[in-house]
């Protein structure tokens, strides 16, 4: 009798382990299928008539670094200085140095801009878990490759000043990127639950 119960317990344990491993295997297969479908979509989705990142026949649109929301294709320039209205992507020769404003970028992203003698900066607040998965139909295949090397969801930081050499940076806590006359820093605000992205300008520094 004891041997019979012992054998039953052993068989139950073996059966439980088998079911557990089978569940893991099925979950892994489904995960792989989902991942494969995602990357297939990245590769085969039709290209747009104009890529939101690199298509601009008139030259650079943005002097300052930009935040790109991958799921919507919305670009938000972390603009500090007044743009030149004659030459796209360049700065105006004269700058108003008594300028403080709150404005909104792509997807309604709030921006706080200070342009004063002592500090020139643009600050954006990204909510936690902001943005969804990349929507490939906003981007050409070359840009999809560049973007997905860095991130597949949420936001990325772009330097679009030279459209022939677009630079892509991850948006993550404690990051710091020197980009031409700018320095972009990122820090998590635990109290507010935001990622604070700050672009500091150095136009007037020798």
pLDDT tens figures, 21-73 = 445 544 444 545 456 766 687 888 999 999 999 986 555 679 999 999 999 99
Query: For the chain, how long is the longest CA-to-CA vector?
Result: 96
pLDDT over threshold 60, residue 18: no
Q: What is the mean pLDDT of the chain?
A: 83
DSSP assigned state of 109? -
DSSP state of 108: G
pLDDT of residue 129: 72
Cα separation, 85 vs 92, whole angstroms: 7
In which band, very low, low, confident or very high, does the pLDDT at 106 lie, cut at 50, 70 and 90?
Answer: confident
């Amino acid at each position: 009798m004891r041997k019979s119960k012992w054998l039953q317990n052993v068989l139950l344990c073996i059966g439980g382990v088998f079911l557990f491993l089978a569940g893991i295997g099925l979950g892994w297969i489904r995960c792989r299928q989902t991942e494969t479908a995602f990357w297939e979509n990245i590769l085969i989705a039709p290209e747009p008539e104009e890529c939101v990142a690199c298509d601009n026949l008139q030259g650079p649109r943005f002097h300052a670094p930009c935040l790109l929301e991958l799921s919507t294709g919305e670009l938000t320039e972390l603009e500090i200085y007044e743009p030149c209205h004659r030459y796209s992507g360049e700065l105006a020769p004269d700058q108003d140095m008594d300028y403080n404003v709150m404005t909104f970028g792509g997807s309604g992203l709030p921006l706080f801009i200070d342009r004063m003698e002592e500090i020139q900066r643009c600050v954006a607040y990204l909510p936690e878990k902001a943005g969804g998965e990349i929507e490939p139909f906003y981007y050409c295949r070359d840009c999809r490759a560049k973007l997905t090397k860095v991130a597949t969801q949420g936001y990325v930081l772009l330097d679009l000043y030279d459209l022939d050499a677009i630079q892509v940076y991850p948006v993550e806590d404690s990051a710091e990127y020197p980009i031409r006359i700018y320095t972009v820093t990122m820090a998590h605000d635990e109290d507010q639950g935001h990622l604070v992205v700050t672009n500091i300008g150095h136009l007037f520094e020798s």
